[in-house]
Structure 1
Amino acid sequence: MGEERKLNQNHAPIYEALENFRKMRVVPFDVPGHKHGRGNPELTEFLGKQCVSIDVNSMKPLDNLCHPVSVIKEAELLCADAFGAYHAFLMVGGTTSSVQSMVLSVCKRGDKIILPRNVHRSVINALVLCGAIPVYVNPEVDTKLGISLGMKREQVAKAIEENPDAVAVLVNNPTYYGICSDMKAIVAMAHKAGMYCLADEAHGTHFYFGENMPISAMKAGADMASVSMHKSGGSLTQSSLLLMGKNVNAGHVRQIINLTQTTSGSYLLMSSLDISRRNLVLRGRKVFAKVVNMAEYAREEINAIGGYYAFGKELINGNSVFDFDPTKLSVHTRDIGLAGIEVYDILRDEYDIQIEFGDIGNILAYLSIGDRRQELERLVSALAEIRRRYQKDSSGLLSQEYIDPEVVTSPQEAFYAKKHSVPLRESVGCICSEFVMCYPPGIPILAPGERITPEILDYIEYAKLKGCSMTGPEDPDILNLNVLV
């Protein structure tokens, strides 16, 4: 936290300013055009007058997200203080925007950045935009679970030694499945080599507020961290934070953010960040202890069913699984003869239970501040019944979640190169010019600049067959792929 300051974390400056504005009954001759909801009665009825009346434009009393000087600036100072950062930016373009601003702040065309290949597509999108060159640290794979693990210390050290001209190291803290790398050691290695250390903490908001959690990026000394407040922090979807360490020029980062972020920042999103930060500071420790207890209870009950494996801290090995996020309820389903995506679909269609995602071998039920024990009991009961009704022989099910890519050219060069469309099976050996991924989790199976192999095509076709939501390519049916000419 930059300078010593005593800030009142009971304060929510944006929320308070909006409440004052509502009481003023100002006559609006500015945007948005719905004019406090009067011009769009169906929208007002759907969202509520309370909501649409504060969907307002930037103005002096409410500050401006592009160049904050009053209430937004104060909210940023409170966020930095709450998260142990030297500066914080309120982000209204989702953590995608936070991640891209983070990468674009330290990378330019031709720069190398060291990162795990199992990153969210937003990271590789940033490389498409700026022209940086990825140096992938291919993660180990847990062959039983079929999931990629964290970055091993020796892999990171080797990548740094072989690429001393790299400008940054990026770490997932944690992965979607709750796997954490040795954040503190990786920060130290990066800084010793004169590199920045960046953290994608889309799934790690609670690390800053819960007890006995894996170390947060800011506490580990990272230079920047993208924190998805709307995931485990309780704010509205698309609201996020970008946190700064002491060695980063916050003014430069603001300029980078303003290259792509809207000039019409949503006060619904910003006030949700403001209120959620206050909530986490005041109640986070108690609330997240409850979340961990619920997750531990669910793991125990699901493992008692038989056939499923709800994995947890027993995976910790001190390196590629340096730590584990105890709130993550990840369940391996392959041993009951069902892909994770099949269990995901059954839970939704037959039990009215919506979980976060299902992939080839696993499901993830996302637990956070709004969950209750009775819903967890319903999930456990449904999983027991699904096993009884649908269990079958697991032979023939694909187990591999992660395939090492062969990177031939940079994401930017491949994305903007001359290309043509070819049938999926005729693309073997070609260089892909687009993304292919299951969403969620949004980790590319193929990214621009990577060689297409039979193994990758087998995975794509299998994922389609099982019902995964496939996104990325120009062809929505993924019968064809764009490849370099």
Structure 2
Amino acid sequence: MLLDQNRTPLFDAVKYHVKRNAVPLQIPGHKHGNGLEEYRDFVGENVLRMDLNQTRGIDFLWDPPAVIAEAERLLADAFGAEHAFFLINGTTSGVQAMIMSACKPGEQVIIPRNAHKSIFNGLILSGARPVYVLPEVSDRLGIVLGVTEDSLAAAIKENPGTKAVLVINPSYYGIASNLKGIVEAARQNNIPVLADEAHGTHMHFHGCFPVSAMKAGADMSAVSLHKTGGSLTQSSALLIGAGKVDPGYVRQVLNLTYTSSPSYILLCSLDVARKQLATRGAQILERVLEITRWVREEINKIDGLFAPDKGFFEETGSFGFDETKLLINVQELGLTGYEVEEMLARDYNILIELADMYNILAIISIGERKEYLEALVSALQDISRTAARRGTKKIEAFQFNPKVVMPPRDAFYTPKRSVPLEHCAGEVAGEMVMVYPPGIPVVCMGEIITEEIVEYVKMLKREKCTLQGTADPKADNILILS
């Protein structure tokens, strides 16, 4: 039976509840904003009236019998999934639930080394043991790409008994592996495939993007509707495909970390964003692709800049590419990506998504306006004209695969001590060290810290990158296992 994707059952129920204006003798304590007047005056009364407690008429998130259940069915239908769950703790909670659902303590899961910190936290929560697959690299851009089918197949062969394969679709930079091929390789060994699609929500709704996890036949997928699908920050979804995964068990796992006080403001934004994607997604994304291709062409006219297109990644490694990730290589300017990011923010009031040593990344999404991108082009033209061209730096794609001496969960519970960064080489990390964004750890707890890692972290500090994961905010000291 075809579902009516024009419906928004949860949003309609909440709007009715707001209009009803019932006497609020329950939490939240601000009581329609009366107890938070300054905030209400800025954001508006409707937002505060939508801030409801789980109650009759608007359903219960952890075991919904009514409007949330219907809204989740519509969500699953929109993405071609068998089941779907609303998430209001970001895709992080979905990624962790996938790992915890697929792996018991001590069981192995194959993951790419360039995984997000949420995956490593999922290893701690589940007790699973990681088997890392190194992605390919691009010397032209100085970034890692994706994992290949061959490397994935080799990891499966070398690690019999593996309980799951986790893939990133696409990476923060928009690069996607051959997901159909990976799913087939895993399926031949009866291994479920889990997909971190934090940056790929939109890909399901237009044919010009890399294939989505559900279309590729993956078993589970965590999608950040708030990143590229239009919902509010922190709202995401967990999708279940047909086959190996028991949705009832996944619900139990989610309930371990679900809040008992979910935000209906976030939940309603998911309901409306799903409707928009399902009914008008292709049309909206066609417009997004038009302005994306325009801006990439304009940037490639600027001296010293290179914005790779889909063809570049297909030629360099047969990888797919999400065109809405506007990756711009700035190496020929003699500037680092970090310096260009700072200049854009300081001098032009333009905020980009992330920077690394050689690139900046802007996200183009369904809410894009061409004037935003015109401002970016104008700013980059100015920067190119005034760049000192200090000489081209050699690009090296930093990729570490430290020796794992202890599973992340065991390392998490092992006593630790703080040691100056310069004295950490040869020690076992007791915490993650990462740049955020993108949130990919340089080293994880339970891994040997090498001299190369120490020097790389020092370089990141010199470039004033935002380092996270360390108890010491400045990362002058690192926790190691005692």
Normalising by the residue count of structure 1, what TM-score does the alignment of the two structures yield?
0.97
The answer (yes or no) to whether the contact 1:211–1:289 under 8 Å persists in 2 is: no
Aligned mates of 2:300, 2:208 — CA distance in 1: 23
Question: Who is 1:184 aligned against?
Answer: 180
The answer (yes or no) to whether the contact 2:144–2:397 under 8 Å persists in 1 is: no
Aligned mates of 1:20, 1:91 — CA distance in 2: 23
Aligned mates of 2:42, 2:378 — CA distance in 1: 34
Alpha-carbon shift at residue 320 of structure 1 (Å): 4.5
Which moves more between the two structures, 339-348 or 311-320?
311-320
Q: Kindly report which structure 2 residues correspond to 1:5-404, keeping only aligned pairs within 5 A, or say none.
A: 5-247=1-243, 248-317=245-314, 320-395=317-392, 399-404=396-401
Alpha-carbon shift at residue 317 of structure 1 (Å): 3.8
Aligned mates of 1:234, 1:440 — CA distance in 2: 20
The equivalent position to 1:446 in structure 2, one of 443, 448, 461, is 443
Which moves more between the two structures, 449-458 or 229-238?
449-458
Aligned mates of 1:314, 1:453 — CA distance in 2: 36
Query: Structure 1 370/154 Cα, relative in aligned 2: closer, same or farther at 3 Å?
Result: same
Which moves more between the two structures, 385-394 or 307-316?
385-394
Alpha-carbon shift at residue 322 of structure 1 (Å): 2.4
Aligned mates of 1:409, 1:395 — CA distance in 2: 40
Question: Who is 1:483 aligned against?
Answer: 480
The equivalent position to 1:472 in structure 2, one of 469, 474, 481, is 469
3-state SS, counterpart of residue 60 of structure 1: coil
* Letter matched to residue 79 of structure 1: L
3-state SS, counterpart of residue 193 of structure 1: coil
The answer (yes or no) to whether the contact 2:331–2:393 under 8 Å persists in 1 is: no
- What root-mean-square deviation, in Å, do the aligned CA atoms of Structure 1 and Structure 2 show? 1.3
Aligned mates of 1:88, 1:321 — CA distance in 2: 31
* Letter matched to residue 345 of structure 1: E
Aligned mates of 1:397, 1:148 — CA distance in 2: 16
Aligned mates of 1:164, 1:393 — CA distance in 2: 51
3-state SS, counterpart of residue 62 of structure 1: coil
Aligned mates of 2:162, 2:332 — CA distance in 1: 42
Identity %: 47
Normalising by the residue count of structure 2, what TM-score does the alignment of the two structures yield?
0.98
Aligned mates of 2:36, 2:63 — CA distance in 1: 30
The answer (yes or no) to whether the contact 1:337–1:397 under 8 Å persists in 2 is: no
3-state SS, counterpart of residue 481 of structure 1: strand
The answer (yes or no) to whether the contact 1:358–1:364 under 8 Å persists in 2 is: yes
Alpha-carbon shift at residue 127 of structure 1 (Å): 0.3
The answer (yes or no) to whether the contact 1:153–1:319 under 8 Å persists in 2 is: no
Aligned mates of 2:29, 2:57 — CA distance in 1: 20
Alpha-carbon shift at residue 46 of structure 1 (Å): 2.1
Aligned mates of 2:198, 2:332 — CA distance in 1: 30
* Letter matched to residue 235 of structure 1: S
Aligned mates of 1:397, 1:389 — CA distance in 2: 21
Alpha-carbon shift at residue 397 of structure 1 (Å): 6.5
Alpha-carbon shift at residue 314 of structure 1 (Å): 2.3
Alpha-carbon shift at residue 477 of structure 1 (Å): 1.0
* Letter matched to residue 11 of structure 1: R
Query: Structure 1 346/401 Cα, relative in aligned 2: closer, same or farther at 3 Å?
Result: farther
Aligned mates of 2:12, 2:423 — CA distance in 1: 60
* Letter matched to residue 14 of structure 1: L
Aligned mates of 1:99, 1:261 — CA distance in 2: 13
Alpha-carbon shift at residue 398 of structure 1 (Å): 6.3
Aligned mates of 1:111, 1:309 — CA distance in 2: 43
* Letter matched to residue 151 of structure 1: V
3-state SS, counterpart of residue 231 of structure 2: coil
Q: What residue ranges of structure 2 are gaps of 5+ in the alignment?
A: none
Query: Structure 1 423/398 Cα, relative in aligned 2: closer, same or farther at 3 Å?
Result: farther
The answer (yes or no) to whether the contact 2:84–2:237 under 8 Å persists in 1 is: yes
Aligned mates of 2:104, 2:316 — CA distance in 1: 31
The answer (yes or no) to whether the contact 2:333–2:390 under 8 Å persists in 1 is: yes
Number of residue pairs matched? 481
Aligned mates of 1:51, 1:397 — CA distance in 2: 51
Aligned mates of 2:126, 2:447 — CA distance in 1: 18
Aligned mates of 1:81, 1:317 — CA distance in 2: 31
Question: Who is 1:434 aligned against?
Answer: 431
The answer (yes or no) to whether the contact 2:333–2:392 under 8 Å persists in 1 is: no
Aligned mates of 1:184, 1:198 — CA distance in 2: 13
Question: Who is 2:413 aligned against?
Answer: 416
Which moves more between the two structures, 352-361 or 459-468?
459-468
Alpha-carbon shift at residue 211 of structure 1 (Å): 2.6
* Letter matched to residue 347 of structure 2: E
* Letter matched to residue 89 of structure 1: F
Alpha-carbon shift at residue 461 of structure 1 (Å): 1.4
Aligned mates of 1:177, 1:321 — CA distance in 2: 15
Query: Structure 1 347/276 Cα, relative in aligned 2: closer, same or farther at 3 Å?
Result: same
